[in-house]
Amino acid sequence: MALVAPAPLGFERSPVPGATLEDLDLEAVEAYLHKRTPALAESMSLELLAGRLGLLGKAQSKPTPTVAGLLSFGLLPQLHRPEWGLSIVRVDGRVLSDAIEERVDLEGSIPAMREQALSYILKHTRTIPDDVETSDGAEAPESHSEYPIAAVREALTNALVHRDLRLSGRVAVRLFSDRMEIWNPGGLTAAVQLEEQAQHGGVSFPRNPLLASTMRTLGLMEQIGRGLPLIRRAVQRAGSGQIQIIGTQADCKVVLPSALVGPRSAHADH
C-alpha cells in the first residue's frame, strides 16, 4: 500500500507565538549545542547558534523558541500548544467502547514525554514468566514484558517525532487486553510501501527533519530507516505475533500484539 501525505516543510522552524526563552531548559540547550557543534559553541552565543540551527527564531525582534526548539527543550510546550501532548488510555477489553480503566495526559518536551510514557507502560502492562534452566538443572522463573520495550520505545519515538504538528490531535497510546495501539496524527510523507519498509527498512523521509535531526543528536533515534524492521523483529522475538502498521493520508497507527494472547501464549496453552 503506497500512501502520500504532504509534509509541512518549514513549519518546525516557525517561532511559537507567545513563547520566550524562559520556556526553555537553557542548560539542556547549551549541552546540546556543545554536542552538536562543539567548535561553534565555544565561539558563538547560545542565541546566535541556536538560531542558526533552527531552535530559535525572532518574534517582534525578540528571540523566540521555534516549534522544534520548544518540543526538544521546552519545559512545558503544551502551555502554548496543548495538542502537542500525549494521551494514554487503558481499556478493560478489546474495543474502545469497553470500560476505561484510566486515562492520563502527559506533557513536556518530546524526550520527557517519551520517558514518562515508557515508565507508565512498564508499570501498567503485564509480565510473562519464562522457564530458564539453571546450572544445577533446576528451573528458575524469569519474566519479560508482554510488549518488547525496544518495540514500544521505537514506535513511541516515531509517533512523537513524525506526527503532523499542525493538526489538533494528540499522539495516543491505547492499551487493550490483547494489544497496544500507538497512534499519531499525520500520514506518511512519501510514497512508501509499508510492507516492504517493515521488512527491509532503509527509507527515511521525516516529516519534521529538523526535529528528527535534533532527536538523533540527543540519542533518541537513528534516522537510518530501520525503525519499522526493529519493531517487527522485537515483536517476533517475543513470540507475540505480527505487528500491524496502518497508514492513511490523515494518520498512522502501529499495533503491537500482546505476547499473552499471541502465538507463544497459544502454544503454551497446548
At 94-131, the pLDDT tens digits run 999 999 999 999 999 999 999 999 999 999 998 876 65
The reply to whether 169 and 263 lie within a common domain is yes
Query: Among 22-26, 162-166, 265-269, where is mean pLDDT lowest?
Result: 265-269
Q: SS3 for 73-91, per residue? A: HECCHHHCCHHHCEEEEEE
Rounded percentage of the chain residues whose pLDDT exceeds 70: 79
Of 50, 77, 104, which residue constitutes the final position of a domain? Answer: 77
What is the pLDDT, as a whole number, of residue 3? 37
pLDDT score, position 58: 94
Query: Which of 77, 105, 135 finishes a domain?
Result: 77
| 63-101 confidence digits (pLDDT tens) | 999 999 999 999 999 999 999 999 999 999 999 999 999
Q: Are residues 70 and 131 in the same domain?
A: no
| Neighbour count for residue 10 (Cβ, 10 Å) | 10
Task: Write out pLDDT tens, residues 32-50.
Answer: 999 999 999 999 999 999 9
C-alpha cell at 187: 500520514
pLDDT given for residue 144 in this prediction: 74
* 126 and 163 in a common domain: yes
Q: What pTM value is reported for the model?
A: 0.84
Q: Looking at the structure, do residues 96 and 73 belong to the same domain, yes or no?
A: no
152 and 221 housed in the same domain? yes
How many of the other CB atoms lie within 10 Å of CB of 260? 17
Instruction: Clarify whether residues 25 and 121 are in a common domain.
Output: no
Number of domains in the chain: 2
Higher pLDDT, 56 or 202: 56
CATH code, domain with 108 = 3.30.565.60
Residue 59 shares a structural domain with residue 95: no
Backbone angles phi, psi at 129, to 5 degrees: -75, 140
Q: Is the pLDDT of residue 23 over 70?
A: yes
> Are 4 and 190 a contacting pair, CB within 8 Å?
yes
- pLDDT > 90 fraction of the chain, expressed in percent and rounded: 63
- Across the chain, what does the average pLDDT equal? 85
Q: How far apart are CA 110 and CA 70, in angstroms?
A: 9
With 90 as the cut, is the pLDDT of residue 198 above it? no
How far apart are alpha carbons 82 and 224 in whole angstroms? 30
Task: Examine the domain organization and report whether 127 and 68 are in the same domain.
Answer: no
Residue that finishes a domain, picked among 77, 96, 114: 77
pLDDT of residue 259: 87
Same domain, 35 and 155: no
Answer yes or no: do 144 and 231 share one domain: yes
pLDDT of residue 132: 44
- Clarify whether residues 100 and 115 are in a common domain: yes
Question: What's the domain range around 31?
Answer: 2-77
pLDDT (tens digit per residue) in 224-237: 666 677 887 877 77
- Residue 47: per-residue pLDDT: 97
What's residue 128's pLDDT? 75
Residues 168 and 148 in one domain: yes
Higher pLDDT, 197 or 205: 205
Stretch among 158-172, 176-190, 201-215 having the lowest mean pLDDT: 201-215
